Structure 1
Amino acid sequence: MSRQAAEKRGRQAERIAGWWLRLKGWHILARRARTPLGEIDLVARRGAMIAFVEVKARATTAELDLAIDERRLARVAAAAEILWHDLARPGDDMRIDVILLAPGRAPRHLTNVWHGG
């Protein structure tokens, strides 16, 4: 897949994930939030919880099992630490989530996937 096609697929996946989150009661705070340590696809809030969300789309569900690894999650966590200070209110909590997308399947939302280290 060309870089341009991958970029288009990624943007489409982020739009779908954003709608999925909104349907679940989340408010999208940011899309493609860039920091010096990396980019976060979506930042969402529901109540006192802020979720920093990595979105992955693959052609098959089998490929999705390989889409996320510790290195990617560590990058999201590092970027989240930077953004947290601008977004958090007193009493807020945060977590790292992943939304996995494959054609013909409902989005799979994995919550609180980073337990850091």
Structure 2
Amino acid sequence: MSGQRSYHAGRVAEDQVAARYAHLGADVCARRWRGRSGEIDLIARDGAQVIFIEVKQSRSHARAAESLSARQMARICASASEFLGGEPAGQNTECRFDLALVDAMGRIEIMENAFAA
């Protein structure tokens, strides 16, 4: 039962984050986009820039952030590369990777360029 509850909580968190990006002026163009390497929770466009968004939901923002592994980041990057292959500018498309954290109270913290070194 808790697996189904987690699934639904994750979907609600993704909806909340998508609404936040729309409010900020970005166009959410894909939800749960699936490539050969895996899934990307949300993909948005802000002008010419593509934003790949990983949504993490937990009791606190800190716990949510801790749940993102290096392996997940690598999978998301590989999927993003596949997505960019279909863009007019291909791999030269301006993009960033955001981490959207949602706590138990529904508060959202967006970490822009979360994958930057």
Whether these two folds match at TM > 0.5 is: yes
Deviation at residue 20 of structure 1 after TM alignment: 0.6
Deviation at residue 81 of structure 1 after TM alignment: 0.5
Q: What is the letter of the counterpart of residue 16 of structure 1?
A: Q
Instruction: From the superposition, tell whether residues 10 and 27 of structure 1 become closer, same or farther in structure 2 (CA, over 3 Å).
Output: same
Question: 2:88 matched to 1:85?
Answer: no
Q: What is the letter of the counterpart of residue 110 of structure 2?
A: H
Deviation at residue 74 of structure 1 after TM alignment: 1.0
SS in 2 for 1:113: coil
The equivalent of 2:63 in structure 1 is 63
The equivalent of 2:36 in structure 1 is 36
1:63-98 deviations in Å (ceiling 9; x for gaps): 123121221111111100001122x33473011111
The equivalent of 1:20 in structure 2 is 20
Work out the CA distance in 2 between the residues paired with 1:93 and 1:68.
23
Instruction: From the superposition, tell whether residues 113 and 30 of structure 1 become closer, same or farther in structure 2 (CA, over 3 Å).
Output: same
Q: 4+ residue stretches of structure 1 with deviation over 6 A? A: none
**Contact persistence 2:84–2:93 (CA under 8 A):** no
Gaps of at least 5 residues in structure 2 are none
Deviation at residue 105 of structure 1 after TM alignment: 5.4
Gaps of at least 5 residues in structure 1 are none
Instruction: Give the alignment's Cα RMSD to 1 decimal.
Output: 1.8
**Contact persistence 1:55–1:99 (CA under 8 A):** yes
Q: Larger deviation: 105-114 or 24-33?
A: 105-114
**Contact persistence 1:95–1:111 (CA under 8 A):** yes
Work out the CA distance in 2 between the residues paired with 1:55 and 1:78.
17
**Contact persistence 1:56–1:101 (CA under 8 A):** yes
